[in-house]
Amino acid sequence: MEILVSPGPDDTASRAAEVVLAGLRRPGGHASVLGLATGSSPLGLYRELGRAVAEGRADFSTTYGVALDEYVGLPPGHPEGYRQVLLREVCGVIGLAPERLEVPDGSATDADALEAAAAAYEARIAELGGVDVQVLGIGANGHLGFNEPGSALASRTRVKRLSARTRRDNARFFTGLDDVPTHCLTQGLGTILAARRLVLVATGDAKAEAVAAALEGPLTASVPASVLQWHPDTVVCLDEAAAAGLRNRQYYDDSAAGLPGT
Ligand code: GLP
């Protein structure tokens, strides 16, 4: 794991954008695949990617965007459905073509249809050649995507029940807690681990405890984000507040400084 700590959220976002761009360069002209997270954590990163496009340093016009998750049971076009959120917060900002945005289809309400939608999503990711760089945020309870504590470490895309904590955290996007869906379709932890690079962005002191547990605690389903420790190319971009609970901080800073003379 590479753990990069920046003074504040803005520097964290620009550092994360460079890490994402470096990971997306695919040899052979194959269209790159960017894994997209919702939530407030990656918004600054998307803004920085948009800036890179404006400056001619990046071009996402042929890139595929692959969402981590989607609510189950929201009517199509609901403004808080993750397809709509990603159209607004990513496609519109970085110039990713809406027809190249892949989101699990959570519109069904019966178990068989949802299971089929989950399998179709896994097949679509495979058809695209896998995810080059997966952007991630972390839930205050350590969730990744919507893989709540207790999620199998090798899980693939499937239906999950949202925890009470996650529904409360996300109630701010709805008119009230009762309107927050109870279930979702989410890439599994095994699906996420199959991406070639993982980039976690976390800022603010509300994330410090989850970040410390994920990066320095045991690898456990109780802290789904601890699977980041298992991946050979994980880059974690934090600000000082989110890094406040890390014990081995000095080592991470020394490592980020690179080889002597470089
Ligand atoms: C949601 C998303 C996660 C995201 C989390 C944290 O639950 N499904 O992918 O990481 O929110 O959101 P925020 O970045 O707003 O704290």
CA of 242 to the centre of ligand 1 (A): 15
In sequence order, the 6+-apart residues with CB closer than 8 A to the CB of 229 are 1, 214, 215, 219
Ligand 1 center from residue 165 Cα (angstroms): 12
Rg (the chain; Cα; Å): 17
Q: Which of 12, 36, 38 to mutate to test the pocket of ligand 1 (most atoms within 8 A of CB)?
A: 38
CATH classification number, 2-256, choose in 3.40.50.1360, 3.90.1640.10, 3.40.50.720, 3.30.540.10: 3.40.50.1360
Which residue has a Cα nearest atom 5 of ligand 1?
Answer: 139
Mean per-residue pLDDT for 7-22? 97
In terms of pTM, does the model score above 0.85? Answer: yes
For the record, the structure tokens of 216 come out as 């320095």
Determine the length of the chain: 262
pLDDT digits (tens, 9 = 90+) for 205-218: 999 999 999 999 99
Ligand 1 atom with the shortest distance to the CA of 40:
15
Dihedral (Cα; 103, 229, 44, 254), 10-degree rounding: -160
User: For the chain, which residues make up each domain, given as ranges?
Assistant: 2-256
Whether the Cβ atoms of residue 234 and residue 200 lie closer than 8 Å to each other: yes
Q: Is residue 148 pLDDT above 80, yes or no?
A: yes
**pLDDT tens for each residue of 86-129:** 999 999 999 999 999 999 999 988 999 999 999 999 999 999 99
Amino acid, res. 132: D
Residues within 6 Å of ligand 1 by CB? 37-41, 68-69, 137-139, 145-146, 166, 170
Q: What angle do CA 26, 32, 33 make, to 5 degrees?
A: 135
Closest CA to ligand 1's atom 9: 145
Alpha-carbon torsion angle 217, 227, 222, 183, nearest 10: 150
